[in-house]
Structure 1
Amino acid sequence: MSTEETNSKKEVIRKKMLEHQSEARIVRKIVLTITILTLLIFVFIGGGGYLYIKSALQPVDKDSKVQKKVEIPIGSSVTGISEKLEANGIIKNARVFKYYVKLKNEAGFMAGEYELSPSMEIPEIINRLKTGKVLQKAAFQLTIPEGKQLNEIAQIIAKTVNKPEEEVFNQLNDKTFIQSMMAKYPDLLTTDILNPNIKYPLEGYLFPATYPFYKQNPTIEEIVVTMLDQTKKVITPILAESNKEELTAHQLLTMSSLIEEEATEKADRKDISSVFYNRLEQGMPLQTDPTVLYAQGKHKERVLYEDLEVNSPYNTYKHNGLPPGPIANAGKESIEAAMNPSDTKYLYFLATSEGEVLFNNTLDEHNEDKAKYITNK
């Protein structure tokens, strides 16, 4: 090959290399430009979103002196409350408020007529709604203690609102009424409460608390809705944080009711809970006296051997596993104990006359304590 041809070939190669380098520079510029634009878009969106949310959480008008009357109806959801506040100009954005409430795990908002201002901070509004600082004083309060059964709750409601006890009790067990409550609370009131072995479908579902009512004559439905709202507010976060993922709301309230009925003021409910779960795991009957009394419809200081023979699915001396449903309402402490029992090997417990609860791993130890503290008393 001649020198001229060789130089010509080198020139072609050089030109191609320059072309490739030029193309590469263009590609790098394009990639860099796209990358920068993408980052700018993300920064813009992220920054814009942050600023939007930050703005939505600020007072509507921090200098406002206006006070507005806002009524929060009984049974209002967080969504309903958020929309009501936005409609009245108390907050900027109902959706942001709702997600803020859920993120902060706030609950326990109370019904009533409030006096609120567009100048209020979000935490102040939430605190006002939780503490029930209302413009209007409650017409009356309904107090349902822990460990009460449905017939006792009916008596308390009837006496408080001046209605016939039979009327209240019958409505609490009316099939049409139960179905309407199930439709309103599908995650709480499941078909479990329709088990034919269950005495009363709403047993254990009416949460023990003091409820303020802002009109003189609420309907039974309004009262029940208020109580079911509270039950849902209490157990929903407990179930969400559950260590026992397969436990249903019905099972949780059933176990909680057993703990509530067995516990004394001095008792560690989580230890009692551990006994029940340990027995279930070993296939042992729960053998808890309150279920026998519930089956009989009685209240007694002491259960006799003849009582243990009652023929009922609630009799945990005759039937393994949990009873068909709750035997009373349970407070938050018992519900938390039902969800998070102590880590023990206890299989037995015994309450002394002084209210102390003794726990044992074996039947021999249990019988020794029984002979010492119960038999000779």
Structure 2
Amino acid sequence: MSDLDLDNLLGAEDDEGPRRRSRNSRTSRSRSRRRQRRQRRKGFAAFLLAMIIIVGVVGAGGYFGFTWIRGLTIPKDYTGQGTGEVIVTIKPGQSATEVAQTLVDQGVVASERAFVNAIGAAGKSASLQPGEYKLRKGMAAVNAIPLLDPERRLKTTLTLREGLRLSQVLEQLSTATGRPVREFQRAAKNGKELGLPAYAKGKLEGFAFPATYEVSPRTPPDELLSGMVERFDHAAEEADLVAGARRVGLTPLQVVTVASIVQAESGRYEDMPKVARVIYNRLNRTPPMLLQMDSTVMYGLGEYGIAATHEQLKSKSPYNTYARAGLPPGPIGNPGDHALEAALNPADGPWLFFVTVDPKKKITKFTDSESEFLQLVEDFNRSQDGG
């Protein structure tokens, strides 16, 4: 082979070398770009995954945060009408919050706030009345409200104090039961149905015995009133009223009438036998003295007070014992045990007068002297005038 041929051969190889290097370079750059694209795709995927995780965490936190806040603002409550039966007692003077606590304690509602909110929204917070109510366990607070309507009370306790007039008794029964007072007035006129003793002459005044009773809106008025007459019968039997009336020379009705005056005029139990003695001493005088009891005058006028005015003393009522001799035609209120006992067993003494000189302290003084009586009246008038 000649030198020329060798040079040509080597030259051919040199010419081919750059072309090969150029192709290799392009291949390398292509591979690098592919690697970069793969890395970018992996980075984007990682970023996307990270964002998904972050959004998920934030979302979950927001949900639980919302749930937590919602739990603070919306009180725990049951749903539906509840099941079973629960008797709930509302005591006198309890507020809506106190009633709510009672309902929670007995499993009726889920939370105090649920009930307070519900009854406030219904505008019935002030309508809660003492008594017993039938509810259910696990009730939605809003469903418990209608069952606490006063008309749905099972029973409530009513204490009738001694000396109340029948009109006051009927008004208190009406208030306690939610029934119209006219229903009790109508029932009070039916003495036979109430079981009044024959000597009552069909009139309930004096025989609606003062005591504590359980009353219910569902109990008929005549049943409630007849229960009071039964209590009177028991008290009369204990006091041996009929035989005792013969002993003091009066009828049983007159004894009850005396007892009602004693009840109205006495400030303290210990004064009752003395007041009864004043009544009997006046009735038994020869000639008899007028009783002159302010309480009977006020009853006949349908008014209240401890001292009748000069104008009131001019009343034409048969209960005006300043103008009419003897006892009034019937009781002026409903006496209790102590007054009945005093009417049957008056104290021994010559007294013809008494004056409650200090009504606030319930201090009554007794005398058989008219001059001393007039002085006591002056003392009373000065105390009333603030002198």
Question: Normalization by structure 2: what TM-score?
Answer: 0.55
- 1:231 is aligned to 2:244: no
Instruction: Indicate the residue corresponding to 1:171 in structure 2.
Output: 187
Instruction: Quote the residue 1:319 is aligned against.
Output: 324
d(CA) in 2 for partners of 1:363 and 1:244?
31
Q: Bigger CA drift: 293-302 or 243-252?
A: 243-252
- The answer to whether the 8 A contact 2:283-2:291 is kept is yes
CA distance in structure 2 between the partners assigned to 1:304 and 1:229 by the alignment: 38
Give CA deviations for 1:145-204 in whole Å, capped at 9, x if unaligned.
11111111110111111101122223212xxx22333xx34xx243x535xxxxxx2111
For 1:150, the equivalent position in structure 2 comes to: 166
Distance 2:357 2:268 in 1: 12
Q: How does 1:64-83 map to 2 (within 5 A)?
A: none
Partners of 2:300 and 2:238 in 1: how far apart? 31
Q: Is residue 293 from structure 1 mapped to residue 301 from structure 2 by the alignment?
A: no
The structure that is helix-richer by fraction is: 2
Instruction: Count residues with an aligned counterpart.
Output: 226
Percent sequence identity over aligned pairs: 29
* 1:103-114 alignment, distance < 5 Å: none
Q: What is the CA deviation profile of residues 196-240 of structure 1, one whole-angstrom value per residue up to 9, with x for unaligned ones?
A: xxxxx2111100000125x65111111011100000000123126
Deviation at 1:243, TM superposition (A): 7.3
Confirm or deny: 8 A CA contact 1:266 1:357 kept in the other structure: no
Q: Which amino acid aligns with 1:322?
A: L
How far the C-alpha of 1:253 sits from its partner, in A, is 1.0
- Over aligned residues, Cα RMSD in angstroms? 2.1
Amino acid corresponding to residue 152 of structure 1 in structure 2: Q
> Which residue of the partner structure matches residue 126 of structure 1?
none
AA in 2 matched with 1:147: G
- Are the aligned partners of 1:275 and 1:347 in contact in 2 as well (CA < 8 Å)? yes
Paired residue for 2:256? 253
- Select 2:193's aligned residue among 155, 158, 180: 180
Residues of 2 paired with 1:148 and 1:243: CA distance? 23
Per the alignment, in what secondary structure is the counterpart of residue 157 of structure 2?
strand
Measured in 1, the distance between the counterparts of 2:235 and 2:270 equals 22
Q: 1:193 aligns with which of 201, 219, 231?
A: 201
1:274 pairs, out of 273, 277, 294, with 277
Determine the C-alpha separation between the residues in 1 that align with 2:228 and 2:380. Answer: 39
Quote the residue 2:369 is aligned against: 362
Give, in whole Å, the separation in 1 of the partners of 2:377 and 2:213: 41
Indicate the residue corresponding to 2:219 in structure 1.
Answer: 218
Moved more, 287-296 or 163-172: 163-172
Q: Deviations over 1:52-108 (max 9, x none)?
A: xxxxxxxxxxxxxxxxxxxxxxxxxxxxxxxxxxxxxxxxxxxxxxxxxxxxxxxxx
Moved over 4 A (4+): none
- Structure 1 unaligned blocks of 5 or more: 1-137, 195-200
- Provide the rounded CA distance (Å) in 2 between the counterparts of 1:154 and 1:266: 25
Aligned to 1:331: 336
SS state at 2:226 partner: helix
Higher relative contact order (CA 8 A, sep 6+): 1
What code does the residue aligned with 1:271 have? K
Give the AA of the match of 2:263: E
TM-score using structure 1 length: 0.56
